């Protein structure tokens, strides 16, 4: 099992004050599978988190790129969960 730190932004911040969560996943795992684990961890950490769609609408990214749902999360220790964006 690999430990991955997931940084949280935007609307996720109200559920986890530290701004990140840690999850453990098998070495061969897709982004879509990771999002299921993250959703469960958010539900475990905050009873206020009830909007699962927010996770499904979110992207998973490294510091340099947004990952596709079927990308493998392999050799990555730090990722970010990015809810729908609204810059400008």
Partner 1 sequence: MGKIDVRVTTSSLEMSDCFSLKPSPGHGAMNSFVGNVRNLNLGKTVIKMEYDCFIPLCEKTFFDIAKEAQDKWCTDANILIVHRHGKVEVGEASVVIFATTGHRDEAYRITRYIIEEIKVRAPIWKKEFYENGETDWVRGHALCQHRKVDHHENGRGHSCGREILSHEAR
Residue 1 binds partner 1, judged by CB under 8 A: no
Residue 72 binds partner 1, judged by CB under 8 A: no
Cα distances from 28 to residues 34, 52, 80, in angstroms, run 10, 24, 18
* Dist CA 63 CA 61 (whole Å): 7
Q: Which neighbouring-strand residues pair with 79?
A: 6
Residue 69 binds partner 1, judged by CB under 8 A: yes
Closest separation in Å from C-beta 86 to partner 1: 3
Residue 60 binds partner 1, judged by CB under 8 A: yes
Residue 31 binds partner 1, judged by CB under 8 A: yes
């Amino acid at each position: 099992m690999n430990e991955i730190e997931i940084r949280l932004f935007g609307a996720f911040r109200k559920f986890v004050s530290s701004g990140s969560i840690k999850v453990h996943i098998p070495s061969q795992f897709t982004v879509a599978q990771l999002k299921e684990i993250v959703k469960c961890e958010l539900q475990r950490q905050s009873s206020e988190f009830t909007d699962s769609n927010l996770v499904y609408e979110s992207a998973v990214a490294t510091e340099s790129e947004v990952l596709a749902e079927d990308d493998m999360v392999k050799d990555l220790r730090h990722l970010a969960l990015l809810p729908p964006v609204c810059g400008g």
